[in-house]
């Protein structure tokens, strides 16, 4: 099954913040072996509908939405499931899934420690 991923972030009015998400998404796609990927934002463009549409037009039969959020807050509990349910109802032949947030991943504490040590060494 041809899988596409959407890295889904909150979005910002600061373009460089949104561009940074795109850089991480591109790296994650390469590292995960995903040839099809897009970035989408809750409060910026492109939105989830646009990103999913692009993936499907490029042959995705399954779409995995990967939240670029630290914890399971209101956007991941309420907003994202509603958006994905609407898209699943529209694209009935495409499997839609949502990955868990970053919270709980064992690499997160290492990232925090690295940043702290980096700040102390500077």
Whole-number Å distance between alpha carbons of 88 and 83: 9
Helical axes 80-90 vs 48-57, angle rounded to 10°: 40
Please count the residues of the chain.
122
pLDDT tens by residue, the chain, 122 residues: 899 999 999 999 999 999 999 999 999 999 999 999 999 999 999 999 999 999 999 999 999 999 999 998 999 999 999 999 999 999 999 999 999 999 989 999 999 999 999 999 97
Rounded to the nearest angstrom, the gap between the alpha carbon of residue 35 and the centroid of all alpha carbons in its chain is: 15
Element containing residue 36 per DSSP (H, E): strand 36-41
Q: Please give the structure tokens belonging to residue 105.
A: 């991943």
Whole-number Å distance between alpha carbons of 63 and 122: 41
CATH entry 3.40.50.1400 includes domain 3-121: yes
Element containing residue 112 per DSSP (H, E): helix 107-121
């Amino acid at each position: 099954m041809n899988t596409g991923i959407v890295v889904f972030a909150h979005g910002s009015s600061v373009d460089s913040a949104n561009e940074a998400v795109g850089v991480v998404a591109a790296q994650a796609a390469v590292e995960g072996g995903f040839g099809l990927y897009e970035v989408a934002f809750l409060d910026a463009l492109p939105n989830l509908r646009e990103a999913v549409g692009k993936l499907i037009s490029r042959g995705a039969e399954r779409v995995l939405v990967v939240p670029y959020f630290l914890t399971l807050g209101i956007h991941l509990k309420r907003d994202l499931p509603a958006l994905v349910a609407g898209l699943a109802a529209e694209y009935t032949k495409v499997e839609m899934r949502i990955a868990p947030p970053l919270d709980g991943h064992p690499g997160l504490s290492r990232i925090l420690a690295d940043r702290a040590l980096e700040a102390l060494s500077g």
